[in-house]
Structure 1
Amino acid sequence: MENLGFHLPISEPITVFGITLLVIFIVPLVFSKLKLPGIIGLIIAGMILGTSGLNILDKERSIELLGNVGLIYLMFLAGLELEVGSFLKNQRKNITFGLFTFTIPFLFGFTICKYFLGFGYLPSLLIASMFSTQTMISFPIVSRLRLTKTLPVEISIGGTIITDTLVLLIFVIITSLSANSGLNGFLLLIPKILAFVLFIILLLPRFTHWFLRNLSSDQMAQYVFVLATVFTTSAIARFLGIEPIIGAFLAGIVLNRQIPPSAMLMNRIEFIGNALFIPIFLFYVGMLIDLKAFVSGYESLELSAILISFAIISKWLAAYLTQKIFKLKTLDRQLIFGLSTAHAAATIAIILVGYKIGIVDINVLNATIVVIFASCVVSAMVTERAAR
């Protein structure tokens, strides 16, 4: 059997890719029938089929490459979907909620991790950043019920723009401190960061606008150009000592203004990402998780319970304070809380990078997956109830 290439774990690229495609096709369908987020199903499938589970698939080589591509694509979409126009409609409310939904979870997370769980400064800052992130996985619920133009939904979108942007700024500092030997290394990195940001803001928009305008009739060339822009920007960021996901996120923000939401190009970018790259990334994340740690010990489970409790409480407090300040209705608060409490895209991207560069250990990665699952379920339930 080994000569035929069927020994376990399977590492032959075509077989691995075929099994991966079957998983990302079947698992979300099953979980949708169970009314559970498909993101969780893909992660669980990766845990089961990975080397720490049934040891069926090897996570190295081809699946690792596709997983990293999916991570970059995920952060690119996060930047691409930021709606600046919607944010400007209710600036005061959006800024207030954005600062609350970043600051309160961040302070909760840092205090708990540093002074109660005994983590160091960098791990505490990274986990606190995870507390502050939010992903509007429940947005399809309000979209289906035609509530996307209501005040609480717009406040939730504005808050997401602010908190995820601030989290990524903190993330730049954390990773640079970790990789560049402390504060001196970070100070040396600042000129590179400024040069990179100026390139993104000043040169990339003009070049992108010229290219998309002159190739408006060639949709295939436009899409390939977008991919090349995203991954080249990410590569430049890595060359300068900045995490590639920051480059992808900034590229998404720049391209957001160049690609109309209703354009065929935008449809293709979102379709291919959501259908292929991001599901493979989630599956790959599941393969990285140590399933035996959940079975053999309680550390991951205890940490999960603590992080879940305070992550949800802190997001509720942010929604509650926003409601009281602006005298919103109770249902408005519930809808804001439901839309902002889920931790998914940015959360898993940040923690995965932190795990790979050694800031946090496998127990934190495992606990984060449980936080994602619990927060997504709470988000869906609260949003559905409040929206109806």
Structure 2
Amino acid sequence: MEDQGMFNSLLIIILAAFIVPFITSHIRVIRFPIVVGEIIAGLILGVSGLRLIEAGPLLDFLSAFGFTYLMFLSGLEIDFQALSMAMKCRKDNEANPLFLAFGTFILTVGLSFAISLGFTSLGIIRSPWLVTLVLSTTSLGIVVPVLKEKGIINSPFGQNILLSALIADFFTMLLITVVVLLLTKGRLNDIFLVLFLFLAFFVFYKLGNILNRLPIIKTLAHATSQIRVRGSFALILIFVALSEYLGSEAILGAFLAGAIVSLISEKRDESFILKLEGIGYGFFIPIFFIMVGATFNLTDAAKSGNFLLLLPLLVVSLYLVKLVPAMLFRLSFSWKKALSAGFLLSSRLSLIIAASAIGLKIGEISENTNGAIIISAVITCLVSPILFEKFAPPQEEQEQGVVIIGATNTAILLGERLAQAGESVTIVDLEAKQRAKAKVAGLKVISADATTVGGFKTANITPEKRVVVTTDSDEVNLKICRIAAETFGLKNIISLVNNTTDMNRFKELGVSVISPAFSTLMVLENMVTHPAAFSLLTDSDDNLLVEEAVLTNGRFVRKRLRDIRLPGDTLIMSISRNGEKIIPHGNTVLEYGDLVMLVGSREPVLKTIRLIGII
């Protein structure tokens, strides 16, 4: 019967986790994170409400693992390439992003400690140490999606906020481990044992890189083997077990495991990361957050004068300790941007609840204080995105276009044709004679050495631009492509490769390669074998347009082609979905994110692109 009760409770939790996203998605007034809905669901179903959920060994284990997996995904969220780009792409008049990140964090910890001492002297809390770190947290889980929705995550402002959030999360987590060790064991030599975790981090990072390059790993990465997912779970448990053995908190080990997976994942392999996120946010993590609400007795806490006094003080403190340090952002950005950064960094969710749970477990934080921290976290993650939206300046229009590096005759001709098609084209080269030719052709020209990071900055080559590398030297082209991909994180890179044996070196960087000899051969072959289809793509008919667009309009998602009426004579020639080419027919169902190739008269095709969403 006891087992039956546990499974009934688990069933109720899973049903709640299924229903909550439907409810939160229909709340339009404010941004309502799903995890907040899960905590509220727990409050309703648990000891504060209907008492339908009974804690037991099974739920305790699943909740604990959900908590651990949440910390793993926090490490996985780190995009090291994007952070490197933030460091190297800063403008000369901007402060060093690391200085801003560490400066805001140190000031936050200092303010948090002063406020915690005040709370302790008033008898509101037992100890200032863990509460200091609770106040110092932020939430990557709120910061990242808000920056993405605002469209500024790749901007200097967005990258500085992201780096500040990352520094706050990581070092708060590290300090929590140290403080808990001191409070529970009181020996400094136990703290030095934590260094073995970082040694293990580098060892497993190197080992993971070696394994990830083995052909068998790619072979076993699909279908029933899913070797990368299995390896990730093994890594989580290895680091959690190692953390427990060394006497540190499991959250640090899980976070480091996530960081390793993020580092060795090839170019942020989205399908692999989505699998890991699906497992966590689809099952384990909702159990943790619902159990947080289910086990908290809000009724008893509300009767306590201590709780009612602490709650407003905590909310004010959570904003104060972030808004004041965020004024450092004024060194690089406007006052309005600095203020908006402070509001966004004030959002708390996962880590603050985790830190509070640890404090409750070791007796440093009371039930009432834990409850006040949970409610405060819910308030900040609801209010902070709204305040950020209010104070953040409108999204800056990103200057898109094509940058052609190497002013060869072919490059100039390409630039002219792209300019005629309405593209913004920039030619980058050091040679004055070729730059003069490009200027005569009416193209924008920049004198810069693109084989250096400084040259890229001079040419203002940003991630949203498409780069075409056309110099006569494969080695020079490779060097430019490496800077573009690895230093600046560019995704749209095309390069000429004269020697076909060099093509794999470019492809490893994610570069689309064009071999002049092979391209000429392909053109001749298609002219012979498919003359009509080839002429459709190449004949210069001003009224005929062949274009690509990404489907983002929900009106067309999950619709059959036979049920869709496109403007004019527009036809869908092909569909690309997750790397797979689909030849469309009447029963083909469109999916969100499909890359569709359109053909038809100019105006109807352009109207269709605006309708379904352009790249």
TM-score, normalised to structure 1's length?
0.89
Q: Alignment partner for residue 238 of structure 2, among 226, 232, 239?
A: 232
- Is the partner of 2:377 in helix, strand or coil? helix
The CA distance in 2 between the partners of 1:37 and 1:259, in whole Å, is 27
The CA distance in 2 between the partners of 1:138 and 1:344, in whole Å, is 11
Does the Cα contact within 8 Å between 1:70 and 1:280 map onto a contact in 2?
Answer: yes
The CA distance in 2 between the partners of 1:356 and 1:318, in whole Å, is 31
Amino-acid identity (%): 25
Does the Cα contact within 8 Å between 1:28 and 1:39 map onto a contact in 2?
Answer: no
Give the drift of 1:299: 1.6
Q: Alignment partner for residue 69 of structure 1, among 65, 70, 73?
A: 65
Query: Which position in structure 2 is the counterpart of 1:249?
Result: 255
Aligned partner letter, 1:376:
C
* CA spacing shift, 1:43–1:264, aligned 2, 3 Å: same
Match runs of 1:75-224 below 5 Å: 75-91=71-87, 92-118=95-121, 123-136=127-140, 137-180=142-185, 182=186, 185=187, 187-201=188-202, 203-212=203-212, 213=214, 214-219=216-221, 220-224=226-230
The CA distance in 2 between the partners of 1:140 and 1:161, in whole Å, is 14
- Is the partner of 1:232 in helix, strand or coil? helix
Within the alignment, does 1:291 sit opposite 2:298 as a pair?
yes
Give the drift of 1:239: 1.4
Aligned partner letter, 1:127:
V
The CA distance in 2 between the partners of 1:135 and 1:11, in whole Å, is 37
* CA spacing shift, 1:279–1:67, aligned 2, 3 Å: same
Q: For 1:113-171, what per-residue CA distance to the aligned partner results, in whole angstroms no more than 9, with x for missing partners?
A: 22343369983121111111111414323323422212221111110121112212211
Q: Alignment partner for residue 372 of structure 2, among 364, 367, 380?
A: 367
- Is the partner of 1:107 in helix, strand or coil? helix
Does the Cα contact within 8 Å between 1:75 and 1:248 map onto a contact in 2?
Answer: yes
The CA distance in 2 between the partners of 1:271 and 1:387, in whole Å, is 33
| Larger mean Cα displacement after TM superposition, 153-162 or 191-200 | 191-200
Tell me which protein shows more strand as a share of its residues: 2
The CA distance in 2 between the partners of 1:330 and 1:190, in whole Å, is 40
| Larger mean Cα displacement after TM superposition, 128-137 or 97-106 | 97-106
Within the alignment, does 1:318 sit opposite 2:320 as a pair?
no
Give the drift of 1:11: 6.0
Give the drift of 1:335: 3.5
Within the alignment, does 1:56 sit opposite 2:56 as a pair?
no
* CA spacing shift, 1:297–1:116, aligned 2, 3 Å: closer
Q: For 1:3-25, what per-residue CA distance to the aligned partner results, in whole angstroms no more than 9, with x for missing partners?
A: xx5x9xx9623322221111111
Give the drift of 1:74: 0.8
Does the Cα contact within 8 Å between 1:11 and 1:57 map onto a contact in 2?
Answer: no
Aligned residues: 374
The CA distance in 2 between the partners of 1:13 and 1:79, in whole Å, is 31
The CA distance in 2 between the partners of 1:15 and 1:116, in whole Å, is 41
TM-score, normalised to structure 2's length?
0.57
Query: Which position in structure 2 is the counterpart of 1:259?
Result: 265
The CA distance in 2 between the partners of 1:122 and 1:246, in whole Å, is 25
- Is the partner of 2:237 in helix, strand or coil? helix
Unaligned runs of 5+ in 2: 88-94, 395-615
- Is the partner of 1:147 in helix, strand or coil? coil
Aligned-pair Cα RMSD in Å? 2.3
Unaligned runs of 5+ in 1: none
* CA spacing shift, 1:152–1:271, aligned 2, 3 Å: same
Aligned partner letter, 2:219:
S
* CA spacing shift, 1:93–1:32, aligned 2, 3 Å: farther
Within the alignment, does 1:38 sit opposite 2:34 as a pair?
yes
The CA distance in 2 between the partners of 1:129 and 1:176, in whole Å, is 14
Give the drift of 1:254: 1.6
The CA distance in 2 between the partners of 1:150 and 1:191, in whole Å, is 38
Does the Cα contact within 8 Å between 2:116 and 2:131 map onto a contact in 1?
Answer: yes
Q: For 1:311-370, what per-residue CA distance to the aligned partner results, in whole angstroms no more than 9, with x for missing partners?
A: 1022111222321x22x1234224422431101121111111111121211112101112
The CA distance in 1 between the partners of 2:103 and 2:152, in whole Å, is 23
The CA distance in 2 between the partners of 1:70 and 1:161, in whole Å, is 21
- Structure 1 or 2, whichever has the larger Rg, is 2
Give the drift of 1:44: 1.7
Query: Which position in structure 1 is the counterpart of 2:338?
Result: 333
Does the Cα contact within 8 Å between 2:120 and 2:126 map onto a contact in 1?
Answer: no
Within the alignment, does 1:25 sit opposite 2:18 as a pair?
yes
Give the drift of 1:375: 1.0
Give the drift of 1:387: 5.7
| Larger mean Cα displacement after TM superposition, 308-317 or 117-126 | 117-126
Query: Which position in structure 2 is the counterpart of 1:384?
Result: 389
